[in-house]
């Protein structure tokens, strides 16, 4: 964040205070609606994080890497889905507050210098009609001043790191299985030799039997 953007944020806080907004309001507690962690190489179409605060208001956080033709349609569809999910149980039409935050890894508003964009239902006079549904778009390139090449390289590094962890775990698992099989074969050979000794076989006969076991891979 640059000094100018930091100053803009302080200005927003000041304006909120002047308009009577509660700038001291905060999330006291939070619970995750979707606690499952998606595997690095799996495909998923659900929102990244869905949570509820102490008032059971819904908070949705998603990350969008590419600005495709259907991005805005998908965002509105996601918002509609979470609006339905925010309905108060036992009530037909009562809704809880919904805050959907989309972190955009691209410049979605090239003509604007703002990195944060708030979207609400308003009338033709710019008056808020419905204040329980808020979409906040955060343009990461403007916020962090990262180049597209840097963001892409960081994403590739994360993917490479996840793949390396996957390979390491797989190799460790295979080595563990191989070690376990080797220990099992050693115990089996020891048991067989003990049985042969109990049978009072000669050392030559035991050596011959041992050679046959080793030849068979046991």
Q: Are residues 64 and 129 in the same domain?
A: yes
For 11-69, how does the pLDDT look when each residue is reduced to its tens digit (9 = 90+)? Answer: 776 676 677 666 555 566 667 776 555 555 455 545 578 888 888 889 898 888 888 78
Domain count for the chain, please give it.
2
Q: Are residues 139 and 171 in the same domain?
A: no
Look at residue 95 in the predicted model and tell me its pLDDT.
Answer: 92
d(CA 94, CA 57): 12
Domain-terminating residue out of 124, 146, 168: 146
Domain-terminating residue out of 101, 117, 146: 146
Q: Are residues 113 and 22 in the same domain?
A: yes
d(CA 82, CA 62): 12
Parent domain of 199: 160-215
Arithmetic mean of pLDDT, 106-113: 86
Arithmetic mean of pLDDT, 87-104: 89
Q: E-strand spans in the chain?
A: 30-32, 49-53, 58-64, 98-104, 116-122, 128-139
Look at residue 166 in the predicted model and tell me its pLDDT.
Answer: 62
pLDDT at 106 over 80: yes
Q: Are residues 172 and 109 in the same domain?
A: no
For 140-189, how does the pLDDT look when each residue is reduced to its tens digit (9 = 90+)? Answer: 888 776 666 666 666 666 666 666 676 677 677 767 666 666 666 666 66
Contact 69, 96 (CB under 8 A): no
Q: Are residues 129 and 56 in the same domain?
A: yes
d(CA 111, CA 54): 38
DSSP state of 87: B
DSSP state of 115: S
């Amino acid at each position: 964040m640059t000094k100018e953007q930091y100053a803009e944020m302080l200005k927003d806080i000041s304006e909120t205070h002047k308009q009577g907004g509660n700038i001291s309001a905060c999330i006291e507690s939070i619970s995750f609606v979707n606690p499952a962690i998606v595997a690095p190489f799996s495909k998923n179409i659900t929102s990244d994080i869905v949570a509820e605060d102490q008032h059971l208001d819904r908070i949705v956080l998603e990350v969008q890497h590419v600005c495709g033709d259907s991005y805005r349609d998908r965002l509105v569809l996601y918002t509609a889905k979470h609006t339905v999910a925010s309905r108060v149980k036992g009530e037909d039409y009562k809704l809880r507050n919904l805050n959907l935050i989309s972190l955009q890894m691209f410049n979605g508003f090239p003509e604007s210098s703002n990195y944060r964009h708030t979207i609400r239902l308003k009338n033709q006079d710019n008056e808020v009609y419905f204040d329980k549904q808020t979409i906040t778009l955060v343009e990461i390139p403007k916020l962090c001043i990262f180049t597209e090449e840097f963001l892409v390289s960081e994403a590739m590094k994360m993917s490479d790191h996840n793949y390396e962890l996957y390979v390491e775990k797989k190799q460790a698992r295979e080595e563990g299985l191989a070690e376990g099989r080797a220990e099992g074969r050693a115990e089996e050979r020891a048991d067989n030799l003990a049985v042969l000794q109990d049978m009072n076989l000669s050392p030559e006969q035991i050596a011959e039997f041992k050679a046959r076991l080793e030849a068979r891979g046991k």
